[in-house]
Structure 1
Amino acid sequence: MTKEYCFRIADFLLSVRMPDNMNVDRLLPSFRAFRSESPQEGERLFDCDVLPVGDALPVILSEELLETAENEMGLIRLYGRSEEYVLTLASHSGDVCHILQTDKAFTRLKAFIRMNRTEAGHALSSLLRIAYSQAILYHHAVSVHSAAVHDGTYAYLFMGKSGTGKSTHAALWREYIPGCGLLNDDNPTLRLAGNEVRAYGTPWSGKTPCYKQLSFPVAGIVRLQQAPHNKFHQENDTDAFIALYPGCSFLHKDPILHNRLCETLIRVVQSVRVGVLECRPDSEAVRLCHQELIKHT
């Protein structure tokens, strides 16, 4: 017997089905705040069947390797077939541990999870994050690698290469801007609603646990660059697009997803103040950034 669990993330409804003897809160603890008690309301972003396995994973045949990526869990490989994608998650030693099969629109998913692995729940969450970040591109939304804070009225996002101080800058905002709180520290969602861009908390927040079912209109997005001084540059049009593009999650080899991303980013930069902040990790950088971003709110 299986049991269905529904979650609402950035106002997208998604379904996860698994055997009823599996504990969803133990496997996906960061999803608790996003549980939906009214699964019949709204169209599903995707349906995912979780299929627990031991060491016998399904055999992948006739595949084309499209992309590889590495994270703290190991190596992720993306394979393409005529009608579907297959993602494999392997340990750093090369042992394939978990597999996700999906149609190319990321609406029907099967997750083969080796439940004898200690990271089984983390792996399932990671595979769901990848699928979610692709599926929302069809709905004028994008998952961005950034830290996001809010002041109770607006959200502010900080992007940049790993190690540039996104989390540090977000922490400084919470220290020096009254009423400022963390919305998400790694993977917030941006979604268009008419001419408004909203930022949403998600179940994925990197190393800082912050899983909030909250959203705010975005007052500004800043790309951080480490420097011995503090200087803010406003970016417009193409430059604003270029500032945001590297931090967006999408499959580079899928032209449809890429086009959807570009359409969404063009509308985002037309609606939201975008800047580059050359900065030190100090209170002056925070106050300069805040002052520049609230000019047009």
Structure 2
Amino acid sequence: MIMEEKHTYRVAGFRFEVRGPMPASSNLDPFLSAPEEEGEGELLFTLEMVPALPLLPVTPVYTTEDGPGFPEIAIGKYPDGAFRFCVRALPGLPVSGEMKVSPDFRCAQLHLTSQGDRHFALNNALMLLFAFASAHKGLLEMHSSVVMNGGKGYLFLGKSGTGKSTHSSLWLKHIPGTELLNDDNPILRLMPDGTARVYGSPWSGKTPCYKAQDVPVGAVVRIQQAPFNRITRLPVLQAYASLMASASGFRPFRELADGWHRTLEALAASVPCYTLECLPDEAAATLCHNTVTNG
């Protein structure tokens, strides 16, 4: 009897499965479920590794346009309503992975091509599936660097290059008791009781920080470069806009966008959000820490 190769992972309290031979991915190892834990948490999706996808006509739906230096994802639709995702590490490069996804985003098949980075393709497929399958579960994949201090998590937001990781490193250097949770893609979760928690994930950008840990959210801070240090608490509407700008998701999927909107709306009303205009110095980290930890 041939046993099916299956790996079950648990992220932010939810499970997903990968079936079939997959590239070695050490970033996933901390999230691997032990056999006795495999039934814990709701199963979000199942991804099957396949040697090829069906040759069927596809209608283009959406292509990301994040610009040079960012991956490109082209989304199409099969006649049966399923979606096809084609992932390139950079615009103009060969497709490294193509995936067929059921209309409810709970079942998918992934073909890794021989021309691209297989590890990159697998992890991008998992990130996409996790974001889509959890859209109505109170989960958000955030583009953020997050530190833990005093039993709480502090998320630093901002456009690429504005200093999110730099500010985290300043906390690590100058604020005692600080630990990095994730440096690029933590999971922000609205809990059933209305509180918010932030979770480490298998995806952390260029910094290998893959921790299966979680803490209550202390604050969310948007970083803006400035020739001075100043921190401002945001009202709810501006907090919503700040959170939305850093939440992963494809707005053309209206039914998913509605789920993300409800989560963002609740988080903006309950989580302290700030803008920190700052220099990359110790004083900025001290100002931020003293403000967000004192409410």
Against the structure 1 CA distance between its residues 72 and 100, is the aligned structure 2 distance closer, same or farther, given a 3 Å change threshold? farther
Give me the TM-score of the superposition, normalised by structure 1. Answer: 0.91
Secondary structure of 1:211 counterpart: coil
Deviation at 1:244, TM superposition (A): 1.2
Distance of 2:207 and 2:99 partners within structure 1: 26
Report what 1:65 is aligned to. 61
Query: What is the TM-score of this pair, normalised by structure 2?
Result: 0.92
Structure 1 residue 83, shift from structure 2 partner? 2.1
Residue 257 (structure 2) pairs with residue 258 (structure 1): yes
Amino acid at match of 1:27: A
Give the whole-Å Cα distance in 1 for the aligned partners of 2:251 and 2:161: 23
Letter in 1 for 2:248: S
1:264, CA displacement in angstroms?
A: 0.3
Secondary structure in 2 matching 1:77:
strand
Q: In the alignment, residue 17 of structure 1 is paired with which amino acid?
A: R
Q: Give the alignment partner of residue 86 of structure 2, picking from 76, 85, 88.
A: 88
Aligned match of 1:164: 162
CA distance 1:74–1:232, shift in 2 (3 Å): closer
Summarize the alignment of residues 1-297 of structure 1 with structure 2, pairs less than 5 Å apart.
1=2, 2-18=4-20, 22=21, 24=22, 26-37=23-34, 38-53=37-52, 58-69=54-65, 74-81=71-78, 83-90=81-88, 92-114=91-113, 116-117=114-115, 119-193=117-191, 194-296=193-295
Structure with greater strand share of residues = 1
CA-CA distance at 1:294 after TM superposition: 1.0
The Cα shift of 1:59 comes to 3.0
CA deviation digits over 1:161-218, x for unaligned, max 9? Answer: 1110000000001111111010000000001111210000000000000000000000
CA contact under 8 A between 1:222 and 1:275: conserved in structure 2? yes
1:152 offset after TM fit, Å?
4.7
Q: CA deviation at 1:239?
A: 1.0
- Whole-Å Cα distance in 2 between the matches of residues 117 and 67 of structure 1? 20
Structure 1 unaligned residues grouped into runs of 5+: none
Which of 4-13 and 65-74 deviates more?
A: 65-74
Q: Give the Cα–Cα distance (whole angstroms) in 1 for the partners of residues 125 and 14 of structure 2.
A: 17
Letter aligned with residue 67 of structure 1: T
1:221 partner SS: strand
SS in 2 for 1:83: coil
The structure-2 alpha-carbon separation of the partners of 1:93 and 1:242, relative to structure 1 and needing over 3 Å to count, comes to: closer
Q: Give the deviation of 1:67 after TM superposition.
A: 2.7
Contact 1:83/1:103, CA 8 A, preserved across alignment: yes
Structure 1 residues 46-76: Cα deviation after superposition (integer angstroms, max 9, x where no partner): 01101135xxx64351312323245757422
Which one-letter code corresponds to 2:8 in the other structure?
Answer: C
How far, CA to CA, are the matches of 2:58 and 2:117 in structure 1?
A: 28
CA displacement, residues 86-135 of structure 1 (integer Å, 9 cap, x when unaligned): 11023644533311111232111111112x34611221111111111121
Instruction: For 1:95 and 1:122, locate their aligned partners in 2 and report how far apart those are by CA, in whole Å.
Output: 13
Higher mean displacement: 32-41 or 200-209:
32-41
Q: Which moved more, 1:121-130 or 1:220-229?
A: 121-130
Count of residues in correspondence between the two structures: 287
Q: Give the aligned residue type for 1:61.
A: P
Q: Distance in 2 between matches of 1:206 and 1:241?
A: 24
The answer (yes or no) to whether the contact 1:69–1:77 under 8 Å persists in 2 is no
Query: Aligned Cα RMSD in Å?
Result: 1.8
Report the CA distance shift for 1:60/1:287 in structure 2 as closer, same or farther (over 3 A). farther
Contact 1:75 1:94 in 2 (8 A): no
Distance 1:158 1:15 in 2: 30
Q: Which runs of 5+ in 2 are unaligned?
A: none
Q: Distance in 2 between matches of 1:182 and 1:69?
A: 30
Cα distance between partner residues in 2 of 1:207 and 1:90: 17
